[in-house]
Amino acid sequence: MIVASEEAARELLEVVPVIMKDIRSEMRTRRSPDLTVPQFRTLAFVDRNEGASLSAVANHMGLTLPSTSKLVDGLIARGMLTREDNVADRRRVKLGVTNHGLVILETSRRGTLNYLADKIASLSADDREVVVKAMNAMRSVFISSIQTQAPGK
């Protein structure tokens, strides 16, 4: 069967948001109860983007720099994030996740992974193989496009 790229794109636009909503919902239910959703999202972003700047976090979260600074300061005070000066630009800081923050994230991720594995288990082995192949194809397309859009690349 030959599928036009527009048809494949239409399927992505329809299915990916549903999957992401389910994943986000599951991860939120598994986050530490004393961690707000914005705090959890900040931890996850910094974990995926080690050395991220405050501006990058603000952009990702859709918050102002002062609001993001307050959010990050709270996570630093609780021992979940670290902040270090950027030697190349003293006006910028580099953020990192501490071991304590990683434990919290890993607990949520592990539970969500198990949840997704249970859902996918209902698919046939052939269909699961198709899912893995499709995700690998999407990764190659979208990771390369993100890397070419990155500043300085």
Give the pLDDT confidence of 7-29 residue by residue, as tens digits.
999 999 999 999 989 988 887 78
- Going by pLDDT thresholds of 50, 70 and 90, the confidence category of residue 149 is very low
Same domain as 109, residue 152:
no
User: What's the domain range around 40?
Assistant: 5-122
Same domain as 87, residue 114:
yes
Q: SS3 for 81?
A: strand
Query: Is 150 a residue whose pLDDT tops 50?
Result: no
Domain count, the chain: 2
* 152 dihedral zone (left: phi>0; alpha: psi -120 to 50; beta): left
Same domain as 104, residue 86:
yes
- Going by pLDDT thresholds of 50, 70 and 90, the confidence category of residue 142 is confident
Same domain as 146, residue 88:
no
Give tens-digit pLDDT for 67-99.
999 999 999 999 999 999 877 776 778 999 999
Give tens-digit pLDDT for 50-69.
899 999 999 999 999 999 99
Same domain as 89, residue 70:
yes
CATH number at residue 29: 1.10.10.10
Same domain as 136, residue 108:
no
How many angstroms separate the CA atoms of 70 and 148, rounded?
Answer: 32
Same domain as 144, residue 82:
no
Closest alpha carbon to 39 in 61, 22, 24, 59: 61
Same domain as 141, residue 104:
no
Closest alpha carbon to 47 in 85, 75, 16: 75
Predicted TM-score (pTM) of the model is 0.67
